[in-house]
């Protein structure tokens, strides 16, 4: 049995070492595509922010100052994030599909995931906390034995 396992591992290692250039090429092409798409996305975000700043002036929101320093800051952050995404693109894909997979499991088998996908709580239509956590519920009364919140004295 151990000999068979070693033979399989040797076959896998041979396959990887024979085709490492193809793997590196696929990784480089994927990284380049992700880098370009990330830069385009960052540029679109910057344009949307400028559009919002021009068309929806909000005096309470402190927009970043205009000028070459802010533009340089946006370019540096965009390049840094794009390079990071380009290097880690396989991990990002695995994380994305892993979250989709776990969400599907949580919806199909809620008891396995601790009922995390339950969005239908009783408190939503009331605009507050569900009854089981309400202070006005029996058993959650005040110290003097009255139920619910104490009466306000006016």
For the chain, 154 residues long, give each residue's pLDDT as a single digit of tens. 566 778 889 999 999 999 999 999 999 999 999 999 999 998 898 888 878 777 877 766 666 677 788 788 888 988 999 999 899 999 998 999 999 998 888 888 888 877 665 655 555 555 555 555 545 545 544 455 555 555 555 5
Both tokens of 151, joined, read 């009466």
96 and 44 assigned to the same domain: no
Residue 107 belongs to domain spanning = 91-130
Q: Provide the domain count of the chain.
A: 2
What distance in Å separates the CA atoms of residue 135 and residue 133, rounded to the nearest whole number? 7
Instruction: Flag whether the pTM goes above 0.75.
Output: no
Answer whether residue 12 is part of any domain.
Answer: yes
72 and 123 assigned to the same domain: no
What distance in Å separates the CA atoms of residue 20 and residue 55, rounded to the nearest whole number? 52
Terminal-to-terminal C-alpha distance of the chain: 84
54 and 118 assigned to the same domain: no
53 and 113 assigned to the same domain: no
Q: How many CB atoms lie within 10 A of CB 137?
A: 14
Residue 4: predicted pLDDT: 72
């Amino acid at each position: 049995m151990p000999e068979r396992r070693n033979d399989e591992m040797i076959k896998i290692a041979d396959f990887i070492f024979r085709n490492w250039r193809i793997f590196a090429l696929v990784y480089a092409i994927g990284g380049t595509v992700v880098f370009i798409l990330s830069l385009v996305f960052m540029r679109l975000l910057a344009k949307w922010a400028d559009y919002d700043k021009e068309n929806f002036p909000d005096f309470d929101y402190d927009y970043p100052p205009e000028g070459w320093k802010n533009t340089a800051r946006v370019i540096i952050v965009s390049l840094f994030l794009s390079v990071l995404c380009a290097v880690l693109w396989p991990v990002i894909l695995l994380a994305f599909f892993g979250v989709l997979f776990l969400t599907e499991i949580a919806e199909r088998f809620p008891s396995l995931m601790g009922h995390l996908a339950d969005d239908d709580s009783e408190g939503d239509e009331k605009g507050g906390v569900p009854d089981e956590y309400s202070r006005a519920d029996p058993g959650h009364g005040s110290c003097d034995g009255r139920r619910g919140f104490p009466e306000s004295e006016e």
